[in-house]
Amino acid sequence: MEYARFVNGDRMKDFFRLMSRTQFLELLEGFEPLDSEVVPLTQARGRVLAQDILAPEDLPPFSRSTMDGFAVRAKATFGASESEPSLFKVVGEVPMGSSGQDIEVGPLEAAKIWTGGALPRGADSVVMVEFTHPIDEETIEVFKPVAPGENVIAKGEDYREGDVVLEGGRVLGPSDLGALAGLGIVEVPVVKRPKVAVLSTGDELVPPDATPRPGEIRDINSTTLHLLIEECGGIPVPMGIIPDDFDSLKRACEEALREGADVVLLSGGSSVGRRDYTLDVFRGLKGCDVLAHGVSIRPGKPTILAKQGNRALFGLPGHVASAIVVFLLFVRPLVRYMSGRDLSTGLNEVRVRCGQEFPSVSGREDFVRVRLEDGPEGLSDMKWAYPVWGKSGLISPLVKAHGLLKIPRDSEGLERGEEATCLLFSYTYQ
Amino acid sequence: MEYARFVNGDRMKDFFRLMSRTQFLELLEGFEPLDSEVVPLTQARGRVLAQDILAPEDLPPFSRSTMDGFAVRAKATFGASESEPSLFKVVGEVPMGSSGQDIEVGPLEAAKIWTGGALPRGADSVVMVEFTHPIDEETIEVFKPVAPGENVIAKGEDYREGDVVLEGGRVLGPSDLGALAGLGIVEVPVVKRPKVAVLSTGDELVPPDATPRPGEIRDINSTTLHLLIEECGGIPVPMGIIPDDFDSLKRACEEALREGADVVLLSGGSSVGRRDYTLDVFRGLKGCDVLAHGVSIRPGKPTILAKQGNRALFGLPGHVASAIVVFLLFVRPLVRYMSGRDLSTGLNEVRVRCGQEFPSVSGREDFVRVRLEDGPEGLSDMKWAYPVWGKSGLISPLVKAHGLLKIPRDSEGLERGEEATCLLFSYTYQ
């Protein structure tokens, strides 16, 4: 009976509908960005703005000095020079934080003002203190003319009431959020971060903090996927290690969906038999369609994608290198897309030269773990990529690699010295 | 009296010891990276490893199959082919998670095994199920020879006990932490993240959630700096808006240091008078030396740096654009350095062409807010940079800009079409 499933699993391989990476990504376009939620400014960095933000008022709300000096009527300074300074009567000082409206500056009058102070009535400009000289407590000489508006930030110069400050879809950075703070907008509507449930399966797996008995091994994928999810802006929902049987897996998927997971990652289906389980489990979920079963990439071929409403369920290969490649190529773009970004990996891509021959097979895209090094003498226009070979069940080659070299679908391999594209892992290469 | 300070502030300018950006960065090398702390794996992403990590045991702890198939002695398959398959007696199946030690595979015997399963005694390789055919429940044909070790990850193939898994100083990524999980290392020593206190001063300032009275304005810098600190891995410690007088500022700095701040940012000293306060406050702190007062960059000239033990205190210009430039050029490298990274901004730098003339003055470095756009037809080898002019007290030019164009210290400006370097803001350009 076990044997039947075993061999049946083998035959199933013939039914793989192998699609290209591009076709797989097109399937992901069938999902929708998530709804929005309102968060405080200090939690909005890197989030995607859900709608345009208009200025509710002018910024600054009044005309302000950009210098320490004297607020004057510019016209009265015209013609002033080192040799023929103009005399001004100092009629007061604008205290910081006061409206300036209780001081009026007449034609040959000046009011002391500090950087950021509100321009008093009658004044239209500020003479820098460097271009003045005190005669007595009530009189100054001005050596240099100013133009109207000089050394002043006018009311509404940053934003006028009703201006579009930020457009929906923008990824929010520190300055954007500073602008909102200045306008008194302290919460902001952003696209929700997708919750990504991580289910590991495999009866040989134990958690990282357990001591494995002979034949058992610690779960690596849960930790790696957790951090990969966070890295691209998702919220990891760890579901632990699930017993490797249909009922347990189905129950765990249902629980993940009930808990609001937008994406479910079922990791551990490297075995042909297990892949069948994953397929059966996904097919057994209410309203769930299997969209893809197999992609023509290496590693990562046995990837499964299913869809329940706007929820995505991935059957990831169990081998850690394959799981990471599939995560970067498909899950990461989907998490970004659901968070309001574009459907791309968002990883840095660099052009490199092949440090040696990279064999491949036409009809599939290869993603080879590579180290980047300086090129040979005289050939240092770009970094050179050297493969970090190793079985896809090993984690150490990923630790040693800087990124993934892409061998195109129509290529039978790359020659030494040939140009290629490398997707950089985020943190390891710097 | 007020006037005396005012004019004295003016004269102080002559005493500015203007140093270059490089000299300023050399001063920052006088600080030390922080101590280490131990954190769980899921909190260690992007952190800097404080010491080498050695493998406490072999990974994997036993030889495992990488395929579904049959564990055999490789030698017994030599010569097998489609036309002349070898016959093997199936002596059992290795259940997942079992040690495999209760099954012994003899020369012409095979044991069923699943991906990840432990190799049984006597076996040295695995024949993929695809290259076998069942004759009956106890017998299979094998069509293809395997080499010893084929389709097997050997005990210790990822790491051998005592191997250096990760070197101290490494910035930890998902795969690194997955490797540690696999080895049962669930906590990791990392360099502490610096605490960065943010003090805003200015009697005209009110918090973003307050309604300013005439003459008052909402504090922008606290929000922007908070997010810039987080963005480079620091822990922001918001200290609020401090009254603009010597005693209040000194008390607030002392409190920040008492609360463990590694870096103190005093923002709001654009006014000449206020700069004096900042200097006096820093000088008045116990064991605190002022290392720099003025840098030959624009914007950002009136930057102050002081040092108390391994704590850094910055007097940042109050104008928001100047504060951000100084943060990116100096505070960000220091936060990275204190966290165990290199003393660089860590920002992406791209080569661009100037979309128009950029005037400058020899003897200082300019950092001009620029937008990047595609070049004119036929000149699209790189992005073209166009200035986003605007007074440094405005936030909107920073919202519109993609980065800072660097005009070198020895340059009197850049011509249209000339190549230059642009420091990209992290999130806004993508």
Residues A344 and A295: beta-carbon distance below 8 Å: no
For residues B208 and B171, give the distance between their C-alpha atoms in angstroms, rounded to a whole number: 35
Of all residues in chain A, the one with the smallest CA distance to B94 is A215
Cβ within 8 Å, pair B227-A178: yes
Cβ within 8 Å, pair B215-A62: yes
* pLDDT of res. B183: 98
Which CATH architecture group holds A2-35+193-338? 3-Layer(aba) Sandwich (3.40)
Cβ within 8 Å, pair A209-B184: yes
Is residue B17 scored above 90 in pLDDT? Answer: no
Residues A118 and A98: beta-carbon distance below 8 Å: yes
Is residue A336 scored above 80 in pLDDT? Answer: yes
Among A174-183, A207-216, A274-283, B21-30, where is mean pLDDT lowest? A274-283
Q: In the CATH scheme, what is the code of domain A38-54+167-191?
A: 3.90.105.10
Q: In the CATH scheme, what is the code of domain B37-59+157-191?
A: 3.90.105.10
Centroid of chain to Cα B105: 51
Percent of chain A with pLDDT over 90: 86
Cβ within 8 Å, pair B273-A394: no
Cβ within 8 Å, pair A171-B7: no
Domain with CATH 2.170.190.11 in chain A: 64-153
Cβ within 8 Å, pair B112-A3: yes
Average the pLDDT over B170-176 and give the result. 96
Tokens linked to B253: 């700095």
Question: Looking at beta carbons, which residues of chain A come within 8 Å of B127?
Answer: none
Question: Looking at beta carbons, which residues of chain A come within 8 Å of B227?
Answer: 41-42, 45, 173-174, 177-178
Question: Looking at beta carbons, which residues of chain A come within 8 Å of B166?
Answer: 399
For B294-337, write each residue's pLDDT tens digit.
Answer: 999 999 998 999 999 999 999 998 899 999 999 999 999 999 99
- How many residues are there in chain B? 430
- pLDDT-based confidence at B20, cuts 50/70/90? very high
For A188-209, write each residue's pLDDT tens digit.
Answer: 999 999 999 999 998 899 999 9
Determine the distance in angstroms separating the CA of A289 from the nearest CA of chain B, rounded to an integer: 27
Cβ within 8 Å, pair A324-B157: no
* pLDDT of res. A30: 97
- pLDDT-based confidence at B378, cuts 50/70/90? confident
pTM for this model (two decimals): 0.93
Residue tagged 């491949």 (tokens): A360
The C-alpha angle with vertex A110 and arms to A104 and A114, in degrees rounded to 5, equals 95
Question: Looking at beta carbons, which residues of chain A come within 8 Å of B56?
Answer: none
Cβ within 8 Å, pair A396-B179: yes
* pLDDT of res. A272: 64
What does the buried/exposed string (b/e) look like for B123-154 if buried means 16 or more CB atoms within 10 Å of the residue's CB?
bbbbbbbebbeeeeeeebbbbebbeeebbbbe
For residues A270 and A276, give the distance between their C-alpha atoms in angstroms, rounded to a whole number: 10
Out of B114, B153, B217, the one facing A393 most closely (by C-beta) is B153
The Cα-based distances of A87 to A9, A151, B398 in angstroms read 97, 20, 39
Which CATH architecture group holds B2-35+192-338? 3-Layer(aba) Sandwich (3.40)
* pLDDT of res. A94: 95
- pLDDT-based confidence at A395, cuts 50/70/90? very high
Cβ within 8 Å, pair A158-B394: yes
- Of B392, B427, B369, B338, the C-alpha closest to B221 is B392
Question: Looking at beta carbons, which residues of chain A come within 8 Å of B202?
Answer: 96-97, 116
Cβ within 8 Å, pair A227-B42: yes
Is residue B32 scored above 90 in pLDDT? Answer: yes
Domain with CATH 3.90.105.10 in chain A: 38-54+167-191
Average the pLDDT over B109-136 and give the result. 95
Domain with CATH 2.40.340.10 in chain B: 349-424
The Cα-based distances of B186 to A242, B38, B58 in angstroms read 20, 10, 16
Residues A332 and A423: beta-carbon distance below 8 Å: no
CA A99, A103, A105, A111 dihedral sign is negative
Of all residues in chain A, the one with the smallest CA distance to B156 is A394
- pLDDT-based confidence at B91, cuts 50/70/90? very high
Q: Which amino acid is at A307?
A: K
- Of B192, B190, B212, B194, the C-alpha closest to B203 is B212
For residues A360 and A338, give the distance between their C-alpha atoms in angstroms, rounded to a whole number: 33
| A26: Cβ contacts below 8 Å, ≥ 6 apart | none
* pLDDT of res. B269: 60
Is residue A3 scored above 80 in pLDDT? Answer: no
Mean pLDDT of the residues in chain A = 92
Average the pLDDT over A253-258 and give the result. 98
Q: Which amino acid is at B193?
A: R
Specify whether domain A64-153 bears CATH 3.40.190.10. Answer: no
Out of B179, B204, B346, the one facing A399 most closely (by C-beta) is B179
- pLDDT-based confidence at B5, cuts 50/70/90? very low
- pLDDT-based confidence at B268, cuts 50/70/90? confident
Determine the distance in angstroms separating the CA of A338 from the nearest CA of chain B, rounded to an integer: 17
- pLDDT-based confidence at A273, cuts 50/70/90? low
Centroid of chain to Cα B259: 25
User: What is the rounded (10 degree) CA torsion for A94, A98, A101, A103?
Assistant: -30
Determine the distance in angstroms separating the CA of B13 from the nearest CA of chain A, rounded to an integer: 10
Domain with CATH 3.90.105.10 in chain B: 37-59+157-191
Is residue B266 scored above 90 in pLDDT? Answer: yes
Tokens linked to B245: 């007088």
Burial class (CB in 10 A: 0-12, 13-18, 19+), A407: buried
Cβ within 8 Å, pair A175-B324: yes
What region, left, alpha or beta, does residue B100 occupy, with left being phi > 0 and alpha being psi -120 to 50 degrees?
Answer: left
Question: Looking at beta carbons, which residues of chain A come within 8 Å of B427?
Answer: 45-46, 171-173
Determine the distance in angstroms separating the CA of A49 from the nearest CA of chain B, rounded to an integer: 12
User: What is the rounded (10 degree) CA torsion for B166, B172, B173, B176?
Assistant: 20
Determine the distance in angstroms separating the CA of A405 from the nearest CA of chain B, rounded to an integer: 17
For residues B404 and B303, give the distance between their C-alpha atoms in angstroms, rounded to a whole number: 18
For B387-406, write each residue's pLDDT tens digit.
Answer: 999 999 999 999 999 999 99
Is residue B423 scored above 90 in pLDDT? Answer: yes
Phi, psi values for residue B417, rounded to 5°: 90, -15
* pLDDT of res. B376: 80
Out of B10, B118, B395, the one facing A129 most closely (by C-beta) is B10
* pLDDT of res. B18: 85
Output A272 or A360, whichever has higher pLDDT. Answer: A360
For residues B129 and A277, give the distance between their C-alpha atoms in angstroms, rounded to a whole number: 18
Is residue B355 scored above 90 in pLDDT? Answer: yes
Average the pLDDT over B176-188 and give the result. 98
Cis peptide before B243 (omega within 30 of 0): no
- pLDDT-based confidence at A5, cuts 50/70/90? very low
- Look at domain A349-424 and name its CATH class: mainly beta
Cβ within 8 Å, pair B118-A61: no
- Cross-strand pairs, A389: none
Determine the distance in angstroms separating the CA of B276 from the nearest CA of chain A, rounded to an integer: 13
Is residue A427 scored above 70 in pLDDT? Answer: no
Cβ within 8 Å, pair A101-B213: no
- pLDDT-based confidence at B138, cuts 50/70/90? very high
